Every structure is written in C-alpha cells, then in structure tokens.
Amino acid sequence: MSTPLLGLDLNALSRFCEGLGEKRFRATQLFRWIHQRGASEFSQMSDLAMSLRDKLAGMAHISALPVVSIQRSADGTIKWLFDVGDGNLIETVYIPETDRGTLCVSSQAGCAVGCRFCSTGHQGFSRNLETSEIVAQLWYAEHALRRELGRSDRVITNVVMMGMGEPLQNYDRLLPALKIMLDDHAYGLSRRRVTVSTSGVVPMIERLSQDLPVALAVSLHAPSDALRDQLVPLNRKYPIDELLSACAAYQRFAPRDFITFEYCMLEGVNDTPAHARELLELMRRHAGSGLSAKLNLIPFNPFEASGLKRSSQAQVQAFAKILLDAGIVTTVRKTRGDDIDAACGQLAGDVKDRTDVGQRMASQRLGMIGGIPVVQGEAS
Ligand code: SAH
Ligand code: SF4
C-alpha cells in the first residue's frame, strides 16, 4: 500500500526513511521538499539519489485532495471545496488581512456534536479526516497561493482549526498535523499562530496542554448549563464549570495569556443583558482560579433548519458593553467572505452529488468556517 507522506510528521517520516535503509537526515530533506517547496513528484527532488526517488515513487505519494470548486469573495477571501471521497466534501477558507493570512482548516467530514446553531452539526457526522487530509488543506492552499501571487515567502501565517468538525474528537490525527504546522522544516508557525477551536472536550483539552499547547478557543455560547445543554449537547457530558477549570489548567502550559471564548449571538436565546450579566459572573468566578478570558461575540449566520435568528447589532453592542464596562476584553467578529458563503456556519455551495451526504449538503446548509484572527475585534 502506498503511504501518503502528507500524513507523516518529521519523526514518522524519519522512521519511514530508516525503514528504507536511509539516514534520518534524508527525511528532513524530503520533508522540506514536500512542505516548504510544495513538491508532489519525487522526480523534482534533485538532491535525493535517483535510487531513493525510485524507491519512494513505488511506495509513497504526495497527493492534493481533488478540488470541487474555488470561490473568491470581493474581500479577498477564498474558499476551496475538497472531495474526500464517498460523497464527503470539506471546506477550507483563506482570509487575507494586511498583516497576516489565516487559513481555516477542517478536521472532520461533518460533526457529531450537533450544536443547534451550526449547519455542520445538523448535517451529522460522516468521518474523521486523516492527518494527511488535514495537512493537505494547508499544503495545497499555501503553495497554490504562492504560485498565484508569485511569492516565495510564506503566505499563510495563521491556522485556525475552525472549519468543519470538532478537532478534539479527532485528536490522534490532529496532533501530528499540528506538529507539521509548527515544524521549522515545514511551515514553521509558532504556537500562538495555530488555534484549536473546541466545543469543550475536556479530557482532550488536558491532553493538548501536555502534548502541544497551541492557542485555544472554546465555543461557549451560553452562560449556564441549562442553556448550554440545549445549544451544545456536549455540555451534558462536560458541564461549564468543568470546562472552565480545564481551561484555567491549560493556561499554565499555554503560550497565550488568555483563552478566547466564542459566543454566537442568537436573538432572544442567549443575547439579553441578563445573559451578559450571568456570563460576567461566570467569568469572574473562574478568574479567581487563574482563568484569563477574552470574549469573541460572533454574529450568527442563519440557516433555515436551525429556526434561529441573528441578534440585532444593537443587542450585540449592548451585550458587549456590559462585559467591556466590567473590564472583560470583548470583541465582535467581523464576518468575512459573506458573498461566497464562507462565513461561519455557511453552506458549502450549490453542490450536487449523487450520494446521500452530497444530497444533504446541497439541500441543507453546510456548517463552516470561522476564524478568530479573521476577526480583529471591533470592541465597542
Ligand atoms: N467544532 C469546533 C470548531 C469548528 S466550529 C467548535 O465548535 O469550536 C468554528 C466556530 O464557528 C465555532 O465557534 C462555532 O460555534 C461557530 N459557528 C458554527 N456555526 C455557526 C453559525 N451558523 N454562525 C456563526 N458561527 C457559527
Ligand atoms: Fe461541531 Fe463545532 Fe458545529 Fe458544534 S459548532 S456542531 S462542535 S463544528
């Protein structure tokens, strides 16, 4: 069976090369060809011996995911729709800003958490992405953008695991992908520039703090268990106090001095001044155990099946003011890529597919995409 090399971090690639009777440093050369130069053919790798290139070609491959569509927004946002087989489609979104380029990456086809306000959640779970499929999104986007922009330096400076799926429910495949993103011989992104966004898988937050404490974003969306149970069903398993305690513990290992809490503003559901005050109380209680939080209010991107509405701007501003006046860093996310449905929780385009999942994706709205750094806050 041919090994997808995009799925191997440097240690795994070294073991793979040793298995071929090669020295470890060959793996570093190969790794750099793949990730830094975007090579997909072994024949391009001019400083590797011909015999090794032949051997590799027989037992390994470096393959892009088939692109189903590319959409470009007037604001520069680009959305790729990739085919990962069996009718499963995933999305990746590039969000350019003056001082950075952020890539929003998917971790699963569908999602099992089933949040009420998220169309990926409504779609249900299809399968975990392999490490190679997670990395392929970055590998492809980075090198396609370099070619397009005629650049040889890094285009993507930040990665957010905020595409489709719950990254911490695919931990074993996520971890090597994060290692590749951070590796100086690959993308060389710092821990602060890679964000894992989670709906709150407490044991995996603990593991991540030990393995690779990258920036953490937590999708909170409600100030009480009664309400969060309804919006984010995983809360029934890991209630808010347990989640926030895990976040406080994470901060001892995290490079950032705060954890971002995402809060999707839903009209009449979680957006009243009373909710803001309850949230404030919650944050104050946990600040005592060392949690420093930043709040990111997200305008809800509506889709029909949710039966939910976006809060008015006035409501969002009033909510933000209560938190800001109490000294909590609060930002309101700008939506990007609205015109191509690349904003948070938007659909995956007019995809027609014969399969069941494809049908559902075409007829329902397909959840997606956020991006904290997308989002420079407008804090007021
Ligand atoms: N599963 C992870 C990461 C993917 S979702 C998580 O839940 O954190 C990325 C972000 O998009 C989350 O904060 C999620 O709450 C938000 N989101 C999902 N659907 C949305 C919608 N319809 N409108 C606005 N934000 C949405
Ligand atoms: Fe899954 Fe995140 Fe959507 Fe919830 S918000 S259903 S965890 S992708």
Q: Give the active site residue among 91, 133, 142, 166.
A: 91
Closest CA to 159 of 183, 124, 129: 183
pLDDT score recorded for residue 337: 76
Ligand 1: which of 95, 111, 118 to mutate, most ligand atoms within 8 Å of CB?
118
Measured from the Cα of 113, ligand 1's closest atom is 1
Query: What is the distance in A from the centroid of ligand 2 to the CA of 115?
Result: 5
Query: What is the distance in A from the centroid of ligand 1 to the CA of 164?
Result: 8
Q: Are residues 109 and 162 in the same domain?
A: yes
Q: Give the active site residue among 17, 104, 247, 344.
A: 344
Query: What is the distance in A from the centroid of ligand 2 to the CA of 232?
Result: 8
366 in a structural domain: no
Measured from the Cα of 232, ligand 2's closest atom is 4
| Pairing of β 293-299 and β 259-265 | parallel
Query: What is the distance in A from the centroid of ligand 2 to the CA of 335?
Result: 18
Q: Report the CATH number that the domain containing residue 86 is assigned in CATH.
A: 3.20.20.70
Query: What is the distance in A from the centroid of ligand 1 to the CA of 250?
Result: 21
Query: What is the distance in A from the centroid of ligand 2 to the CA of 166?
Result: 6
In this prediction the pTM is 0.91
Q: Are residues 25 and 124 in the same domain?
A: no
- The whole-angstrom separation of Cα 349 and Cα 228 is 29
Q: Are residues 85 and 139 in the same domain?
A: yes
**What is the identity of the amino acid at 113?**
V
Q: Are residues 39 and 176 in the same domain?
A: no
Measured from the Cα of 121, ligand 2's closest atom is 6
- The whole-angstrom separation of Cα 321 and Cα 332 is 11
**338: which residues sit within 8 A by CB, 6+ positions away?**
73, 346
Ligand 2: which of 104, 113, 125, 347 to mutate, most ligand atoms within 8 Å of CB?
113
The finding on whether 90 has its CB within 6 A of some atom of ligand 1 is no
- The whole-angstrom separation of Cα 158 and Cα 155 is 9
Q: Are residues 73 and 55 in the same domain?
A: no
Q: Are residues 78 and 22 in the same domain?
A: no
**Mind listing the pLDDT tens digit of every residue in the chain (380 residues)?**
899 999 999 999 999 999 999 999 999 999 999 999 999 999 999 999 999 999 999 999 999 999 999 999 999 999 999 999 999 999 999 999 999 999 999 999 999 999 999 999 999 999 999 999 999 999 999 999 999 999 999 999 999 999 999 999 999 999 999 999 999 999 999 999 999 999 999 999 999 999 999 999 999 999 999 999 999 999 999 999 999 999 999 999 985 679 999 999 999 999 999 999 999 999 999 998 889 899 999 999 999 999 999 999 999 999 999 999 999 999 998 877 777 766 655 544 333 332 333 333 332 222 333 322 222 222 22
DSSP secondary structure of 1-13: --EEGGG--HHHH
234 in a structural domain: yes
Q: Are residues 227 and 128 in the same domain?
A: yes
Q: Are residues 95 and 16 in the same domain?
A: no
Give the total number of structural domains in the chain. Answer: 2
The finding on whether 270 has its CB within 6 A of some atom of ligand 2 is no
215 in a structural domain: yes
Q: Are residues 334 and 237 in the same domain?
A: yes
pLDDT score recorded for residue 340: 72
Q: What is the residue range of 43's domain? A: 3-61
Closest CA to ligand 2's atom 8: 165
Q: Are residues 76 and 52 in the same domain?
A: no
Q: Are residues 45 and 192 in the same domain?
A: no
Q: What is the SS3 string spanning 124-153?
A: CEEEECCHHHHHHHHHHHHHHHHHHHCCCC
The finding on whether 166 has its CB within 6 A of some atom of ligand 2 is yes
The finding on whether 341 has its CB within 6 A of some atom of ligand 1 is no
Query: What is the distance in A from the centroid of ligand 1 to the CA of 255?
Result: 23
364 in a structural domain: no
344 among known catalytic residues: yes
The finding on whether 367 has its CB within 6 A of some atom of ligand 2 is yes
Contact 56, 40 (CB under 8 A): no
The finding on whether 118 has its CB within 6 A of some atom of ligand 1 is yes
The finding on whether 119 has its CB within 6 A of some atom of ligand 2 is no
Q: Are residues 334 and 281 in the same domain?
A: yes
pLDDT score recorded for residue 256: 60
pLDDT score recorded for residue 373: 24
Alpha helices per DSSP H over the chain: 10-19, 24-35, 50-59, 119-123, 131-149, 171-182, 202-211, 225-231, 240-251, 273-287, 313-325, 356-363
The finding on whether 254 has its CB within 6 A of some atom of ligand 1 is no
354 in a structural domain: no
142 among known catalytic residues: no
pLDDT score recorded for residue 359: 33
Closest CA to ligand 1's atom 12: 219
Measured from the Cα of 117, ligand 2's closest atom is 5
Q: Report the CATH number that the domain containing residue 36 is assigned in CATH.
A: 1.10.150.530
241 in a structural domain: yes
